[in-house]
Structure 1
Amino acid sequence: MEISPAPQGRYAAADGVQYHYIDLGAGSPAIFLHGGGPGCTAWSDFGPVAPLFAGDRRCFLVDILQYGRSEKCVITGPMWDFHARKTVALMDALDVGRADFVCNSWGGTIALNLAAKYPGRVRSLVITGSMPVFYGPLAPLPEGARRGRNARDAYYGGSGPSWEKMRELMARLEWYDSDAIPDETVTMRYEQSLDLDETALAAASDDPRGEWQDLTDELGRITAPVLFAWGMHDAFLTPDYPLMLARMVPRGHLYVMDHASHHLQEERPHDFHAIVTGFLDQRHD
């Protein structure tokens, strides 16, 4: 599915940092947080599906700090605590008291920690391809749970970023059907990956991203219902992993989508919307 050009975004100051976000639709608020791959933004990850959700919701598509047009700040201390605190500050700046969260990968781990630490701000969560804990139920996680970081380092290393390397990364790790990857999405991700501040962060690998946190203890404290929506062929974490997560949170659910990998919201946006909106429309209070 082709992705249309990004709508005009906005900026908001939140607890000393600046966020970029896109505001679509009207109704109950939903916050979309994207993944952590090179060049990822809210629009690159959710552009194909956002207009569907905006039909009856107010959708805030947020560029996570250190990505897109949001501030490329250096993070010190526990990383997921930092992101959760700043995201709550962004909600305050946007006058959003409580919201649903629809998140991919990196963004989902932020939202899970936020739900544990600030339970009053979260109505429900939809989490795709996230890794909040560093172990699996059946076997060690691929590449010692560093597959994403290794891929980022390989993309920026060697001869540096290129359009071809971006497409290869997406085909190998993010999409089930590599022939379906839109050239426009590859170009969007590649061009964003050339941002000088983003490149500098990537060159430093993990150092500016804060201290890694395992969220095992936090998952058991999440009171909001959580739908783990997973691709059957996720290249990072096979479906036994989200099944484990769904049993670790008190109100966990799991849906596994066939013919999809790490970015099912891009590969199958209409199917993703149907499953997720059905979950969000339930009475969760």
Structure 2
Amino acid sequence: MAVPGRVIGGLHCTRLGPRHRTPVVVLHGGGPGCHTTADFAALLALRQDRAFLCVDLPRYGGSPLPGPELPPGRYSGPAAALDTLLDRLGLPGPIDVLAQSLGGAVALALAARRPERVGRIVLIGSTPAAFPGTTVDPGLGLRLRDALYAEPGPATMRALMEGVEWYGDRPSDELVAARLRAATTDVALAVATDPAARGADEDLGPLLGAVASPTLAVWGAHDPFSGPDYGAVLAGALPRGDLTVLSRTAHHPQSERPAAVAALVDAFLPVPHLEPA
């Protein structure tokens, strides 16, 4: 599962697939040890004919802690870093995005502030705003993080993944090990011991009306972080939002049912155009 990449402008990125096509940007979730080539490994393996740019957000995977030049917000800071990365790679946009949880909120933050940058978005289980009356457990992520770092190890990481990210099937030992390695780097441990290093909480609700990008929200029917009712409200708050709910999945349907999510990606994100010469 180890995939080589490089750090550009403070973000670790890995480019996969045909080099002559504009890649889909892929962004991971916010759980301990999450990083894109692990979170989306099963889906990426099914679509090796497509071009992807797998990005680790600040504080995650192979990316360092963000510098003081970035906005402090948990979504705004990574969105600004992603904006800079795309400039450095010569990808001015519009570019499509496939994102999980935290990554989906980052994609929406970028699309709201730089509409010319983002094309179409597929986001999975993202909770970027407070929607009163919806099913959501805002403290679940911190409880899981505290449990893992109280006793870090393969058994604890597996329990975290099987308890909330997966509904039925079991993650492979390889995937569990990849997540644990990423959760115990110097950067990850620094974030775990300093809540301020995780970035300031944000509510993107006031910005959602400015997201012009066609957006497909994909939800696991058994997602313990937020129910499909949250996904329906989110899709309704976006000017061009739609919702698809997948049964027999929790918070990581791209891992549990990669073929189903890949089919949604193929239908919603057309094969990217050729890059200009």
Fold agreement, TM-score > 0.5: yes
- What whole-Å deviation, never above 9, does each CA across 1:176-223 have from its counterpart, x for those lacking one? 11x421111111111221112211211113x11222110111111100
2:11 matches 1:19: yes
Residue of structure 1 aligned with 2:173, choices 159, 165, 183: 183
Deviation of 1:281 after TM superposition, in Å, equals 2.0
Q: Distance in 1 between matches of 2:59 and 2:271?
A: 34
2:27 matches 1:43: no
Deviation of 1:135 after TM superposition, in Å, equals 3.1
2:144 matches 1:151: yes
Q: Distance in 2 between matches of 1:282 and 1:190?
A: 33
Conserved in 2, the CA contact under 8 Å of 1:35 and 1:104? yes
Residue of structure 1 aligned with 2:107, choices 111, 116, 121: 111
1:1-285 aligned at under 5 Å gives the runs: 5-13=1-9, 18-26=10-18, 27-55=21-49, 57-73=50-66, 77-98=72-93, 99-139=95-135, 141-142=136-137, 145-157=138-150, 160-177=151-168, 179-205=169-195, 207-281=196-270
Aligned residue pairs total 267
Q: What secondary structure does 1:180 align onto? A: coil
Structure 2 letter corresponding to 1:171: E
Structure 2 letter corresponding to 1:20: H
Q: What is the TM-score with the length of structure 1 in the denominator?
A: 0.89
Conserved in 2, the CA contact under 8 Å of 1:233 and 1:260? yes
Q: Distance in 2 between matches of 1:266 and 1:197?
A: 25
Q: What secondary structure does 1:275 align onto? A: helix
**5+ residue gaps, structure 2:** 273-277
Structure 2 letter corresponding to 1:103: A
Q: Distance in 2 between matches of 1:252 and 1:80?
A: 19
Deviation of 1:282 after TM superposition, in Å, equals 9.0
| Structure-2 change in CA distance of 1:187 and 1:219 (3 Å) | same
**5+ residue gaps, structure 1:** none
Q: Distance in 2 between matches of 1:94 and 1:264?
A: 30
Deviation of 1:275 after TM superposition, in Å, equals 1.2
Conserved in 1, the CA contact under 8 Å of 2:224 and 2:250? yes
Q: What is the TM-score with the length of structure 2 in the denominator?
A: 0.91
Deviation of 1:81 after TM superposition, in Å, equals 1.5
Q: What secondary structure does 1:211 align onto? A: coil
Q: Runs of 4+ in structure 1 displaced over 4 angstroms?
A: none
Structure 2 letter corresponding to 1:197: V
Conserved in 2, the CA contact under 8 Å of 1:104 and 1:130? yes
Q: Distance in 1 between matches of 2:144 and 2:134?
A: 23
Deviation of 1:243 after TM superposition, in Å, equals 0.2
Q: Distance in 1 between matches of 2:85 and 2:38?
A: 21
- What whole-Å deviation, never above 9, does each CA across 1:44-99 have from its counterpart, x for those lacking one? 101111133441x3200011110111112366632322111111001011111111
Structure 1 letter corresponding to 2:102: W
Q: What secondary structure does 2:8 align onto? A: strand
Alpha carbon RMSD of aligned pairs, Å? 1.7
Conserved in 1, the CA contact under 8 Å of 2:164 and 2:224? yes
Q: What secondary structure does 2:65 align onto? A: coil
Q: Distance in 2 between matches of 1:74 and 1:170?
A: 30
Whose strand fraction is larger, Structure 1's or Structure 2's?
A: 1
